[in-house]
Amino acid sequence: MTRGAGPGAMALFAFDFDGTLSDSEMTVLLGEQYGVADRMDDITERAMNDELAYAESLRQRAGLLEDLPDARAQAAFEQVYLRPGAADLIAALREAGHHVAILTGGFERGVEAALEREGVGVDTIVANSLPVGDGHLTGEVEGPLIEGTKDDALETLAMGEGIDLADAIAVGDGANDLPMLQVAGTAIGFVPKDAVRPHCDVVVANMDTLRRVLEEDGYLPAA
């Protein structure tokens, strides 16, 4: 599987969040608080299948949330959960000395809520945010992964940590993950969309399989 230096050295693991580390969809959970979940889901699906520019899709979804009380937004973020096995995998990778990052077009508050619930942390979170004014969402979205893409975020992170991109392992599922999958030394698809699958070095369907793959490739000690 590995195209980089890999086993024995510190590696950089970059995970997508919604659809990968979590099977929650933050924007849908937010939409359920406001009765617009179906419209959110349609926009998300079009974006993940590369039928709609990601930045435009994110702005459209955020716009549907204008005036949602922030307390209800926080209630949605508290419903974000990690997939079974994800927390254990993150902890094992960090214990093995690897740098673990989450690169998501989703929202930092949801990522943090899910990690905190499981009592696990990561080294870096690159995510977007929904501005709040007078206790309500403004309908806008801010952050580095709106116009910016995950390849740029991954390259910046690797440079800052002194890690070669060949020693970066990217894990994702959707079209907005393609840029980081294409520049990373190893591209892992987590139940990837059809447009993404051809760009993956390996495809997995659950965290247990992903962990076995990483053990076989020497990134983690065998259980």
Contact between residue 17 and residue 102 where contact means Cβ atoms under 8 Å apart: yes
Provide the strand spans (E) within the chain.
Answer: 12-15, 99-107, 124-128, 132-133, 136-137, 168-172, 186-190, 202-204
Q: With the C-alpha atoms ordered 30, 58, 142, 120, is the resulting torsion angle positive or negative?
A: positive
Of 181, 153, 194, residue with least CA distance to 45: 194
Given the residues 16, 151, 173, 177, select the one marked as catalytic.
Answer: 16
Give the 3-state secondary structure of residue 162. Answer: coil
Give me the catalytic one of 18, 167, 173, 177. Answer: 18
Sign of the Cα torsion 195, 65, 152, 10 reads: negative
Q: Is 151 labeled as catalytic in the residue annotation?
A: no
Tokens 């995510």 -> residue? 127
**What number of CA atoms fall less than 13 Å from residue 55's CA on the CB side?**
9
Check if 16 is active-site: yes
Active site residues: 16, 18
